[in-house]
C-alpha cells in the first residue's frame, strides 16, 4: 500500500477517534446533581397524620415521626413529604430505624420505608417498606415477608400478596430499631430495593402499578412504629 495513503488513513482514523471521544455519552447527559438532605431540620417537610421532631437516635441526629394522639384507623401511616423534589427516575438513599411502639399491637413489625412518585398529599404513590422484626424471626415465612412493595391506593400489600404470593415481598437481614440503609433505584416502570449496601437487590419490581409517573418523595412510618430517618440523598436522572 502507498505509504502516503496509509498515513492519511491513520490520521483520519485518529481524528475520528478524537471526535467520538468528545461527544457526550448517554450516561453523561443523564447525570444530575445529587440532592442531600441530612434530615436534621423540619424545613421543607409536609408532615401528615402525625408529628415530627429532630432527636438523637443511636448516636446521630434524626427525624422522628409519631402518630397523632387521635389518629383514625384509616390514617395508618405518618408521612413527611419532601416538598422540594419532583422525582421520576433515579436513585433514592436513606437510613431508617424502625421498631414497634410500646403501645403497639402484638402483630406490629416496625413498618418503615420510603414512598416515591407521591401525589395528592400522600394519597397516591409507590412504596417500599421494611418489616424489621421479621428479619431475624424464627419463622421462615415471616422472614420471607421482610421487605415489601405496594402501590397506594389501588394495590395495597394484602392485595398483592393474595393475587401474587411472594412476588412483591422478600427477605432481608434486618434488626428492629437499628439503622438500616435503603437504596431505591427507579427507571420507568421498574424499581429495585437494596438493603444495607448489598450489591444485589433484595426486591425487584418490574411493573410499578402507577407506571412511568412522577411525584414527591415521602418518609413513611406506620402509626404503630417508632420511626427514625437520617441522611436522605436523591440522585435524579432525566
Instruction: Summarize pLDDT for 142-161 with one digit per residue, the tens.
Output: 999 999 999 999 999 999 99
- Band of residue 5 on the pLDDT scale cut at 50, 70, 90: very low
pLDDT tens digits along 85-119: 999 999 999 999 999 999 999 999 999 999 999 99
Q: Say whether pLDDT at 13 is over 80.
A: no
How high is the pLDDT of residue 173?
Answer: 98
Contact 94, 80 (CB under 8 A): no
Residue 22, pLDDT > 90, answer no
Q: Tell me, what's the pLDDT at 73?
A: 64
pLDDT for res 30:
65
Average pLDDT over the chain, rounded to an integer: 89
Higher pLDDT, 223 or 23: 223
Q: Which domains does the chain have, with CATH numbers?
A: 29-237 (2.60.120.560)
**Predicted confidence (pLDDT) per residue in 34-77, tens digit:** 999 999 999 999 999 999 999 999 999 999 999 988 876 656 89
**Length of the chain in terms of residues written:** 238
Amino acid at each position: 500500500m502507498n505509504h502516503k495513503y496509509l498515513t492519511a488513513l491513520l490520521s483520519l482514523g485518529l481524528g475520528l477517534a478524537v471526535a467520538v471521544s468528545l461527544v457526550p455519552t448517554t450516561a453523561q447527559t443523564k447525570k444530575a446533581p445529587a440532592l442531600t438532605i441530612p434530615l436534621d431540620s423540619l424545613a421543607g417537610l409536609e408532615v401528615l397524620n402525625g408529628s415530627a421532631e429532630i432527636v438523637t437516635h443511636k448516636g446521630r441526629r434524626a427525624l422522628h415521626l409519631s402518630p397523632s394522639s387521635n389518629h383514625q384507623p384509616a390514617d395508618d401511616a405518618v408521612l413527611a413529604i419532601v416538598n422540594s423534589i419532583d422525582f421520576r427516575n433515579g436513585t433514592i438513599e436513606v437510613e431508617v430505624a424502625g421498631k414497634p411502639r410500646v403501645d403497639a399491637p402484638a402483630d406490629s413489625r416496625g413498618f418503615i420505608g420510603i414512598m416515591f412518585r407521591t401525589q395528592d398529599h400522600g394519597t397516591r404513590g409507590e412504596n417500599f417498606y421494611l418489616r424489621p422484626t421479621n428479619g431475624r424471626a424464627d419463622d421462615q415465612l415471616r422472614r420471607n415477608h421482610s421487605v415489601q412493595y405496594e402501590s397506594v391506593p389501588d394495590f395495597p400489600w394484602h392485595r398483592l400478596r393474595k393475587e401474587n404470593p411472594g412476588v412483591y415481598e422478600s427477605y432481608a437481614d434486618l434488626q428492629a430499631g437499628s439503622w438500616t440503609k435503603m437504596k431505591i433505584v427507579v427507571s420507568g416502570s421498574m424499581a429495585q430495593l437494596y438493603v444495607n449496601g448489598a450489591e444485589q437487590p433484595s426486591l425487584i419490581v418490574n411493573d410499578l402499578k402507577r407506571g412511568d409517573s412522577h411525584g414527591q418523595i415521602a418518609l413513611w412510618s406506620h402509626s404503630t412504629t417508632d420511626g427514625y430517618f437520617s441522611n436522605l440523598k436523591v440522585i435524579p436522572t432525566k
